[in-house]
Structure 1
């Protein structure tokens, strides 16, 4: 169903809503709605343009809400009609959150429902949408982070729908389970923490002062939720973005800005914004499930693997010379107790972590024989997606052209203002 068309300077945007099966293996069963925003340049509104499907990072994050032809979108609109997909469960698609899940029944039913929100279902949604919009024509796909995981699944499930694929910071390990991913990424987080303290040396003492305060006091965040030492360490997720270290420094700078021995309201408010999953509960609930394939439970892998890296311990000696380390893009079971938005999902999340059978997401044979042009940016210092695993996958995709760079962090697609996308397009077409 097509909805309204709106205009901004530099953009013409048309809303679309599609009805898709909850379970694509049961097309006559329950359905959900998936929303997508079509975007085109005003001077090309009536042109017969090729389509570019954008798959957002996450999991569980809606597509960008554009304000003009900003960042990579300006480059894309030079030749494409762009479709910004709110992946199932996100944004204006049928929502998944503590309220909607509560209406589905007990935790077993909730966990079964959540199992339909991974990359394989997202790709099958995209194929139904492609047929609805352009019939048998192919389209290009741009996948950022988890969107790149989805694009790799697309190459495995339905390559016949693809004209070309651009992946940025999102080549997954084809056989890497969640534990393997975290064994690779914990050292990256330690390195990012060390680099942050080298850039802002006084922050090491500030971080320990904050941690000691949290250890000795019950601290509540605005709107509910507790701030513990472990929760505070999770602010390290900021360090994987290009400006993240600077943003973290300015946040820490305000910790005791009120001049007392208490944490300032400004600090606690910003921390709450950084740590809350109120707007992205699927990110927390499915974060380890995106790596699950075949037999074997994820079993709270980040929590288990953390014990193999004792330098990340939250109960470290805060008066020693060793700095307190931040953590990164890891989800822990205690977050479902501390965050009010996640508490109602805890039982279902435990069941997902215990699930032992998962559908495969990648087809190695199809990837090894694909004829779809693929170009990927692999960020050498990526804190979230291990470059080593990404390069193994690039070698397994026939003809995949790879650009390895440390010029950008994980958010290079956005931060480069179109530069990363421009290079990937040129690479996929043999022009670079």
Structure 2
């Protein structure tokens, strides 16, 4: 029934045409570069009618959501990720009975996600403006601002679709990397703007050098950079951890290899989804407060000050001293949500034990010393995949939580996501380049 009702709607939604041929490396690189430039241009287009008194309520989640406060891309990837959360919960809970390995069900899933993302764009933009999180300079600009935010959100949806079909990786990942990288560069090196003290550079490194030359060294200002380096090294180490299952090719005697199961098996998607969930809690808290029912807590000056919204606000080191119970509650919820989304992501991405066993058995692989059967493959993989899914989800949750506490430059969670995304993007680019240089490897590596 639901499919029959939604399919006619999907036909009216604009979509990016899928390539009918294998997109060459240089063409993928071109489209990735073009979309990245367009993204930066859109972040510089200010919202017409925005009041100068507006406060960024989601500053701590800004890097993760890849948005630019005060621009038409204020929402960033928030609506896309919010739509993904809803669908993952519906499919994971079997409310929507979809088999994403089937082309028709996968197309329905993608169409529903796009429709939901557009709905969330309008909803989130409306909540931000109508609750005063984005204050209009005059009442007549309210609906104009909502329209601008909605247009920006829809543009992000289609830019993401272009990257997914014609570029490298996904637009969601690319925009996160772009936003975090720009924050790091500006925060570390910006020599033009001035800090609180007149005449003192605002960039951390120029500011430290200035204080050093005036015999007023302050090493505490380097903490965000030190934290950035520490997070980078820990994440790179975590990305390198893996469990390797020995394999042999049944049709070729002596041909052996290993199937690697990465410790961060669900990648960094659980952190993105959890951050989006927390953002929506803040949004709903502001909305209910505006309606006169502050059931999720109260928001003042763009920041939650009580209720569930306060306890789900990203804490800082100062919060550890003033309210350690709030920090502990936030940590438990954040890590628990990361574990839940890691499990859902593995199930919906067809990388669970059953799907991997089917893939390896279909390739004629077998584990040395064991019978060559899909059921046996699945039994072996069930010993590893569920365990590393839970442990990997908990690990990225703890890393993101700890990194945010330190106040890392670019945002702790943002840096964690950036390292993981760039690592995966590098692997994809290297594989594409290798297949372009050696066309015979395409079938072996799964290329088209």
Which of the five TM-score ranges fits, normalised by the shorter chain?
A: under 0.3
TM-score w.r.t. length of structure 1: 0.27
Larger strand proportion, structure 1 or 2?
A: 1
